[in-house]
Amino acid sequence: STFIASGVALKKFPLTKCIKDIYRSPPCANSPISLKGWVSGTRISKNVAFVDMVDGTTYEDVKCVVRPPYLLPNAVKVGTSIKIDNGLWVEGRGKQKYEVQVTENSSIGVIGEVEELFPLLKKQHTEKFLRTIPQYRWRKPEEAAILRFRSNVETALVNFFDQHSFTKTHPPIMTSSDCEGAGELFTVEAASNASLDKCFFGKEAYLTVSTQLHLEVLCAALNRVWTLTPCFRAEESDTNRHLSEFWMLEAEMAFTSRVDQLTDFSELMIKSVISKLFSDFYGMGSNLLKTASKEQGASMLKRWEMLLGQEKWASITYTDAIKILRTAYENDDSVFQYEPKWGDSLKSEHEKWIAGEYFKNPVFVTDYPVEEKAFYMKINEGGNTPAPTVACYDLLVPDIGELIGGSLREEEYGKLCTEIERRKLNLEPLKWYLAQRKNGTFPHGGFGMGFERLLQYLSCKDNIKDVIAFPRTVNNCLC
Ligand code: 4AD
C-alpha cells in the first residue's frame, strides 16, 4: 500500500483508484476491485445485467457483469453515479480484455440518482444544442474527450518549452495598456464600491488582449519565456473561429533577429505536439480517436499525417500572397467577396483560400504592410514594396485561417517613440514599456497562438466554441 511518486513515498495513495490507473497497470486476474464512477450504458436480461461504467479519467469504460441481475438497484440508469465494492476483476471474453464481475459477494450501490439527465446522455444531440446545457454537456464521454485532449496538448506544450530552455511565466490579466492598439478592450470596473469610482481604484484598467508587452519585460530577465493565458477581445466577430475570451500561448525569445527563426520554431512546436498525438496510446490522439465517429477519426488522422508529412511548410511574403490572390481573382472574381489589394488586410476568406485551396497545408505569410500591424513590430529596411513592411508573420492553416501571429520587436527606444507618435497612440500608458529599451536593449521576437484555434484545427471541429468548456462569445456569457 505504499505509493512512490518522484521519490516521495506516501503510506497510502490518498485518492480512490481511477479507471485510467487501472488500465495503465491492470490488477492481476481474479483480484478484488472497488470502483466509483457513472453509468454510461445498461442492458438487463433474465439471468444477468450489464453495466458500462466510466469515470472521466479516460475514454475507456469498464464493463461490469452483474449476476444475479436483481443485485442491480432499480435506480441505476445512464448518468447515475455508482460504487462497486469487492467486485472481481477477471479476463473478459472476445474483444473485451477485462470485466468486473459483481456477485452476491460484492455490492453495487447508487451514490447519486438521475432525474432529467438520462435522456440527454443517451441521445445524439447537435453541438449547438449541447452548448445550451453547459452543466451537463461534458458528462457525455464523447464530449469529455475534447477536454482531456485539451489538457494533453497543454502538457505536450509544457514539455516542449521546457526542453527548449524556456521559463513559463504568469503575466497579468488586468492591464493599463492596449497591447495591440486595436481598441478591442473590455474595461475593468468595480461593480459595487462607489468609492472606487467604478473603475480600478480610480485608474483605467482593462482585461488583457495579449500579454506580449509584459512578456517582453520578462524576456529581458529570463531570455526565453512563454505563457498560456486567458485573453479577451471585445470584437463583434461572431464567427466559428472567434471567442471573446480565449487562451493565448505567447512566447518571447531574446537574441532573435530573423523572422525565419521564429517561423521555424513555430513549425517545430506544432509538429512536436502532433508527433505526441501518435505516440502515447493512453493520452493525446487516442482520447479523441476512440470516441470520434469513423469519418471524424479519419479526417483527424489525415490532417495530423498531412501536417507531419511535409518536411517544411511553405513561407511567402505578403506581397507574393497578394499576387497569388489577385491572379485567382482576375481569373474568376466570384472566388472572393473582397478584392485582394496590396495594403489591405487579408480577409478570412483570403487566408482560408491561400492555405486550404492553394497550398493545401499550413503556410507562413511574412512582411505585412506597416499600417496593417501593431506599433511594436520592427520595420523592414529597404525592399521595393509600395509602402514599408514589418518583419512579421502569420501562420495560416486550412479551414481556420490565422493560427499564429508573430514578429521581431523594435528594440530601439527612439524608433519606438517615433512610431507611437506617428500613429497618434497615447504614450502615457506605454512609458513603463518604453523605459526598458534604454537599458540593455537586445534584438528579440515572439508570437501568439490561439490555443483554441490549435485545438479546433487538430480536432477538425467546425466551431471553436466546441473546444472550450464554457465559451464566451458575442452576446453569450451563459453561465
Ligand atoms: O495576431 P494576434 O492579435 O497577435 C497578438 O496579440 C500578439 N501580441 C501576439 C504576440 O506576438 N505575442 O493574436 C494571436 C493569435 C491569433 O493568431 C489567433 O490564433 C488568436 O491569437 N486569436 C483569437 N483566438 C480566438 N478568438 C479570438 N477572438 C482571437 N483573436 C486572436
Ligand 1 pocket check for 471: Cβ under 6 Å: no
Over residues 455-471, mean pLDDT: 96
Number of neighbouring beta carbons within 10 Å of residue 234:
15
Contact 432, 244 (CB under 8 A): no
pLDDT score at 116? 75
Q: How many residues does the chain have?
A: 479
* Confidence class for position 220, pLDDT limits 50, 70, 90: very high
More confident residue, 288 or 103: 103
* Confidence class for position 119, pLDDT limits 50, 70, 90: low
Contact 158, 213 (CB under 8 A): no
CA of 232 to the centre of ligand 1 (A): 10
| In the predicted structure, residue 1 carries a pLDDT above the cut 60 | no
| In the predicted structure, residue 421 carries a pLDDT above the cut 70 | yes
Number of neighbouring beta carbons within 10 Å of residue 218:
19
Over residues 177-195, mean pLDDT: 81
What are 247's three cell numbers?
Answer: 487562451
List of residues 6+ apart from 83 with CB closer than 8 A: 34, 35, 36, 108, 109, 111
Contact 63, 69 (CB under 8 A): no
Percent of the chain with pLDDT over 70: 95
Ligand 1 pocket check for 61: Cβ under 6 Å: no
> How does pLDDT run across 464-474, given as a tens digit for each residue?
999 999 999 99
* Confidence class for position 2, pLDDT limits 50, 70, 90: low
CA of 96 to the centre of ligand 1 (A): 45
pLDDT score at 249? 98
List of residues 6+ apart from 320 with CB closer than 8 A: none
| In the predicted structure, residue 315 carries a pLDDT above the cut 60 | yes
Phi, psi values for residue 172, rounded to 5°: -75, 155
Q: Which H helix or E strand runs over 218?
A: helix 212-222
Over residues 270-295, mean pLDDT: 81
Over residues 230-256, mean pLDDT: 96
3-class state of residue 184 by DSSP: coil
* Confidence class for position 287, pLDDT limits 50, 70, 90: confident
pLDDT score at 4? 62
Percent of the chain with pLDDT over 90: 77
More confident residue, 408 or 181: 408
Over residues 6-24, mean pLDDT: 80
Phi, psi values for residue 424, rounded to 5°: 55, 40
Burial 117-155 (b: 16+ CB within 10 A, else e): beebbeeebeeeebbebeeebbbbbebbbbbbbbebbbe
CA of 248 to the centre of ligand 1 (A): 7
Query: Where do we find the cell 528579440?
Result: 444
CA of 407 to the centre of ligand 1 (A): 12
Over residues 246-272, mean pLDDT: 98
Burial 403-435 (b: 16+ CB within 10 A, else e): bbbbbbbbbeeeebeebbeeeebeeebbeebee
Residue 456 burial (C-beta neighbours within 10 Å; 0-12, 13-18, 19+): buried
Ligand 1 pocket check for 445: Cβ under 6 Å: no
Mutating to test ligand 1, I would choose from 226, 237, 444, 453 the residue with most ligand atoms within 8 A of its C-beta, which is 453
Least confident of 15-19, 73-77, 344-348, 387-391: 15-19
Q: What is the ipTM of this complex?
A: 0.99
Query: Where do we find the cell 490488477?
Result: 27
Over residues 389-418, mean pLDDT: 97
Walk me through the domains of the chain, giving residue ranges and CATH numbers: 18-123 (2.40.50.140), 135-467 (3.30.930.10)
Q: Which of 52, 60, 50 is nearest to 19 (CA)?
A: 60
CA of 379 to the centre of ligand 1 (A): 20
More confident residue, 95 or 60: 60
As a whole number, the mean pLDDT across the chain is 92
